[in-house]
Amino acid sequence: MRQMRPPHFAEGQHRTQHDSFMAALLDTINAWADHALRFAWPMLWQSSLLIGVLFALDLLLRRRLRPAVRYALWLVVLVKVLLPPSLAFPTGPGWWLRPAQVVPAKPHPTSVVVTYSTTEDPPAMPSVATPVVLAPARPRLTPVAQTFTGMVAVSLDVRILDFSRVVVLNDLTRRIRRGQNEVKPSSIEGG
């Protein structure tokens, strides 16, 4: 089946609009992925370091502390994951280890000398060359954007699976409340 296009678009015009839209879309996805990476990378290494330290501390203090105190220590991980990675308090090492403020350098004054030629001969005009038009490079997703897009797709798939399970469980609960004791095992498994 042949794809129909509106008659007011010429072949090249339609392709140019499509290419510019795709280039803008890929640039947007690449920018979002870069922002997500700048947020996710500090969160990942800080949380991983905290989990490793708490795990070692938990192993060392397993016999000396009550389980309730050890579980409360693990709540520190929850607090860390909920707070942004750039949050720095004066009581923490991140406050004292942060980079110093950069003071802009003062510009050095420069002098320019302009001289004019005393000869009356006009300069020779350069020969006109045929311009070479190169096709722009096709926009591509960066590896970071590919990973980001994959994570978004997996997250959406998990949300859809969660929603379908909620629908099945609501249906099962509704049937049980009505007094239908004939609940089939296949309805529990979602099949």
Cα–Cα distance, 154 to 53 (Å, whole number):
30
The residue ranking higher by pLDDT, 172 or 179, is: 172
Res 19: pLDDT:
78
Q: What share of the chain is helix, strand, coil (3-state, %, to 5)?
A: 60, 0, 40
- What share of the chain in percent tops pLDDT 90? 12
What secondary structure does DSSP assign to 7-67, as a single string?
Answer: TT--HHHHHHHHHHHHHHHHHHHHHHHHHHHHHHHHHHHHHHHHHHHHHHHHHHTTTTS-H
The tens digit of pLDDT for each residue in 107-148 reads 777 877 777 766 666 666 666 677 777 777 777 888 888 888
Residue 99 has pLDDT above 80, yes or no: no
Residue 52 has pLDDT above 90, yes or no: yes
Contact 125, 12 (CB under 8 A): no
Measured N-to-C along each axis, helices 143-177 and 11-60 cross at an angle, to the nearest 10 degrees, of 70
Residue 6 has pLDDT above 60, yes or no: no
Confidence of residue 157 (pLDDT cuts 50, 70, 90): very high
Closest CA to 141 of 35, 40, 25: 25
- What share of the chain in percent tops pLDDT 70? 70
pLDDT mean over 77-87 = 79
pTM here is: 0.44
Residue 177 has pLDDT above 70, yes or no: yes
